[in-house]
Structure 1
Amino acid sequence: MKPVERRLMRDIPVLRRHMTTSSVLALAGAGLIVTQAVLLATALADGFAGHGVRTGTLAALGAVMALRALLAWLRGVLAQRAAAAAKRTLRDRITGRLQHTNPLRLAARRHGETATLLTRGLDALDPYVVGYLPTTAGAAVVPLTVVTWVFLTDWTSALIIVITLPLIPVFGALVGLHTAQRTARQWRLLSRLGGHFLDVVAGLPTLRAFGREHHQTKVVREMADAHRRATMRTLRVAFLSSLVLETVATLSVALVAVPVGLRLLHGDVGLHTALVVLFLAPEAYLPLRAMGAAFHDSAEGISVAERVFAALDDEDDAPAPAADRAPAPDARTAPLTLHDVTVQYPDRAGPALRDVRLTVAPGEHIALIGPSGAGKTTLLSLLLGFVTPTSGRVEIGGTDLAALDPDDWFRQVAWVPQRPHLIAASVADNIRLGRPDASDEEVGRAARAASADLFIEELPAAYDTLLGEHGAGLSAGQRQRIALARAFLKDAPVLLLDEPTAHLDPESEAAVTGATVALMRGRTSIVVAHRTSLLPHADRVITVRAGGITLPDPALPDPAPQAPAAPAAALAPSERLVAS
């Protein structure tokens, strides 16, 4: 048994119960096989001897055959249920891990490969659970039972079976090593094809805009052809394996049947004994042949299980243990402090942040400016807990953020990203993500506070209007106001805004700016700003450049925090960008 199979048994209790049940059913089936062989031999021997077949023998034979059919049906039903439960367990674990994965790492994943793993990938476990595990249990029980009975009936034939029986697993293992490699390659190609195809579909509008859709059609066709060739090579090996196993099993049965037939002709063995041996000999080899065939069918499932456990064991994605976590301090009175924080991403030569020291007082409004890639979003990710400092500490009220209960901290933080994600649900449900138990009246108040109520009420079904994935059907400004409505509804004491007015037209920018200023009031706010509309409402403007920060000179006056925001439309193009 491979390490991944041992882990499947260890981590999924339903598979252990499935193996136990399969072993019990296999033992019962082995007893029925022996009984059927003896009864059939008795009926034939009596018939050839001219005594006539007894009615009781035929009735017993019919009952045994019916019981074997019932056992086969029961084994299939239980195996299907075990497979469904195992797949559900693994899907729950993967989705649970994704829920706790660093969102920055999650965004970098190829979502198509993850979708392929959760759907087509886990479905490949069916042959392993339904076919391979029950046949493995049968291969461990049936040959031993059959050989024991044959030994009691005719020890010479039993000796031949014992000598030839190991040939099947030996040849099966030799071919199986090659099959495992081919199947692993087949799954890699399928995963790559599924991931690339989903990425192509998601980016189809951009590809059409640049006239590259025909090129991607060729790429997908080539990838599909590579997967087809790999699948055919795997099937050829599987057919070769079946030929080898069937040939070895047939020759082994012949080695038993020929001596028994010759001894029967010479009168050295009775007809009843010879028939019992001839009926039982194929049954000794059949489970091993079935296990070999099932192994090839389940090889893809084993490869998928390895990928699943590799994803679950990824230390970078592992959620922090919740035990011994302290509750988060009240953010309304707790300062946010960064002590000599450095963040180094593995794929970047220089640090994203270097020795940053910053303290944000409760209720203070901070604006972060600077060129793209300077580290502004990384700083917000530190406060969210999405990024762990390479060195230094992030403290909330004097307590290390890494020591706090993340869920408790998230309840006190409202985050409005640059490109908010909207789900395929109603407008009200998208706003209610800020507080799932909010009433319709509270959702409406949050929408009005975010200046989103007017365009929402113009939608076909107002708040009940269903949106497409990623908010399809709304403009960028409308999606931004939905995200602000979420933050109003959550009413968290800490507000983190990542360029809330980016990519907006002047009218939308003015509306979002007004809603953002209202949202910041009375909250600790940190805003990443590329435009100047929010800067007059900041208590401090901090420049982030090349991973370092430049604090404002305390001898200089603050940048007019009480001055009204200039309308975005009135700004000159050069004024709309913050000088870096």
Structure 2
Amino acid sequence: MNRRPFDPRLLHRVPAARRDLALLALLGVLAAGLVVAQATALAALLATAFTGRLDRVALTGFVAAVAARSVLVWAQGAASARVAATVKAALRADLLGAVARHGPGWVAGQRAGQLATLAGRGLDALDAYFTGYLPQLVLSVTVPVAVLGRVFLADWSSAVIIALTLPLIPIFGALLGWQAQAATERQWRRLSRLGGHFLDMVAGLPTLRAFGRAQAQTDAVRRMADGHRTATMKTLRIAFLSALVLELVATLSVALVAVPVGIRLLGGGLALQTALLVLLLTPEAYLPLRAAGSRFHASMEGLTALDEALTLSASAPAPAGHAGALPDGRGEIRFESVTVAYERTTALRDVSLTIRPGERIAIIGPSGAGKSTLLGLLLGFVTPTTGRVTVGGVDLTEADLDGWRRQVAWVPQRAHLFAASLAWGHEGGNNVSVELANPGVADAPLTVTVTG
């Protein structure tokens, strides 16, 4: 899992977002300058107001800085919303392209429900990241630097205190963020599992009704939804506690600056305008870090989905047919200690199986047990993580997959209609049928017939 606040893979996978991200960085620099200008003008205005006169130049500068910051906030919102839409569209297109590239076996292995949840709810969660967290992340770099520079010119001792206390917020934020990230990953896994199970249940609803298993699956979905609710509440609890910690650290840090400034002002060791400037700028140094810390938790689900989408869409394509040995469909089919592991789950673990010519094998298991992954291995759509699959002594990873698939008849769970003629040929020899079934639940039996 990527723990960085910004994934550099995004720049390579979505080049169209580079311009908007650069614009966000530029707007962050301008915002830092306006923060300093606004505080400087307000300090001068208040200092002269205590003497009974109005500094019109300072008033004009303050009003102009406030207006410019308002326009800047609007521009940041527009740019972040545009980059969010661009990234989501590009990642959804990449996921669909990966599905088309890898074929049905890859979809079965990665689970259709997980992909559907990722392409829908998962990528939509990126809005909170791009419109909330990312602009604050830029400001948390530019504003403290600008404030420190201006305060150092006005009162170097206050600048030293700010420089020493500023790192406390990201340190505490990182410690709490690791806990929140683990909780968010658990929440995302439960949501993906719930989405996949619900999709399977809806697809097999007629079968469930026919066998009287609808109520049992309703109870299963209710239990999974309750587990997701519990995981969500744990994540929110950590987010609220971390916000409290960050607010407390920032408040104490501001007090460490304000108390000495007030004492020196009363003793005549500091000018009023300088004291006002330091007191106005000090909270601004901590504000972006506090806001970034609080919005980071709101964007955690989107970050988890972003990492998964980039990983899945960039995964190696399924092995294409190539010039290799042609498997003999009349030979044995052997699975030798086969394991198929994905980013977050293991579909099959250390499976050994021998299918002899003429045998009829039924493999039964609940949804998600790995039955479709087994077929994906046999068809060459899925590559084993460890172990190997051989047909007639030929390893499928080194075989002519196009020639092998021409020997295989595959009857899927759901029929597909093609705009082409149907040619059926049978040369005689051995027939091997493999049936996959979910006992009493959604999927109808699925048969693969190997003819030679």
Tell me if TM exceeds 0.5.
yes
Partner of 1:543: 430
In the TM superposition, residue 184 of structure 1 has moved relative to its aligned partner by: 0.8
Partner of 2:197: 196
Partner of 2:72: 71
Q: Which amino acid aligns with 2:204?
A: G
SS at match of 2:421: helix
Distance change in 2, residues 1:386/1:280 (3 Å) = closer
In the TM superposition, residue 61 of structure 1 has moved relative to its aligned partner by: 1.8
Q: Which amino acid aligns with 1:349?
A: S
Distance change in 2, residues 1:382/1:244 (3 Å) = closer
Q: Contact (CA 8 Å) 2:126, 2:302: kept in 1 or not?
A: yes
Distance 2:109 2:175 in 1: 40
Distance 2:278 2:147 in 1: 10
| Greater RCO, CA 8 A, separation 6+ | 2
Name stretches of at least 5 consecutive residues in structure 2 with no aligned partner: 339-347, 363-374, 384-388, 435-452
Partner of 1:576: none
Distance change in 2, residues 1:337/1:206 (3 Å) = closer
Distance 2:25 2:377 in 1: 53
Q: Contact (CA 8 Å) 2:106, 2:381: kept in 1 or not?
A: no
1:46 partnered with 2:48: yes
Deviations 1:84-109 (A, max 9, x none): 11112221121111112243443455
Identity %: 45
Distance 2:236 2:308 in 1: 22
In the TM superposition, residue 227 of structure 1 has moved relative to its aligned partner by: 1.1
1:236 partnered with 2:237: yes
Q: Which amino acid aligns with 2:50?
A: F
Q: Contact (CA 8 Å) 2:106, 2:376: kept in 1 or not?
A: no
In the TM superposition, residue 116 of structure 1 has moved relative to its aligned partner by: 0.7
Partner of 1:60: 61
Deviations 1:124-147 (A, max 9, x none): 222222222221211111101110
Q: Which amino acid aligns with 1:392?
A: V
In the TM superposition, residue 373 of structure 1 has moved relative to its aligned partner by: 3.7
Partner of 1:134: 135
Length-normalised TM-score, structure 2: 0.78
Distance 1:265 1:240 in 2: 37
Given candidates 3, 14, 19, the residue that maps to 1:12 is 14
Distance change in 2, residues 1:311/1:382 (3 Å) = closer
Q: Which residues of 2 match residues 119-518 of structure 1 at below 5 A?
A: 119-312=120-313, 314-315=315-316, 318-320=317-319, 338=328, 343-345=333-335, 346=338, 348-352=351-355, 370=358, 372-373=360-361, 386=381, 390=390, 392=394, 401=400, 418=411, 433-434=418-419, 486-487=420-421, 495=423
- In angstroms, what is the RMSD of aligned CA positions? 3.6
In the TM superposition, residue 350 of structure 1 has moved relative to its aligned partner by: 2.5
Q: Which amino acid aligns with 1:124?
A: A
Name stretches of at least 5 consecutive residues in structure 1 with no aligned partner: 327-335, 355-369, 375-379, 395-399, 424-429, 435-485, 489-494, 496-519, 527-539, 548-580
Distance change in 2, residues 1:105/1:39 (3 Å) = closer
Q: Contact (CA 8 Å) 2:334, 2:353: kept in 1 or not?
A: yes
Distance 1:351 1:256 in 2: 75
In the TM superposition, residue 159 of structure 1 has moved relative to its aligned partner by: 1.0
SS at match of 2:39: helix
Q: Contact (CA 8 Å) 1:415, 1:487: kept in 2 or not?
A: no
Distance change in 2, residues 1:182/1:156 (3 Å) = same
Q: Which amino acid aligns with 2:25?
A: S
Across the two proteins, how many residue pairs are aligned to each other? 400
Distance change in 2, residues 1:26/1:321 (3 Å) = farther
Q: Contact (CA 8 Å) 1:344, 1:350: kept in 2 or not?
A: yes
In the TM superposition, residue 252 of structure 1 has moved relative to its aligned partner by: 0.9
Length-normalised TM-score, structure 1: 0.61
Distance change in 2, residues 1:385/1:157 (3 Å) = closer
Distance 1:201 1:273 in 2: 68
In the TM superposition, residue 21 of structure 1 has moved relative to its aligned partner by: 2.2
Q: Which amino acid aligns with 2:232?
A: T
SS at match of 1:268: coil
Q: Which amino acid aligns with 1:116?
A: T
Partner of 1:33: 35
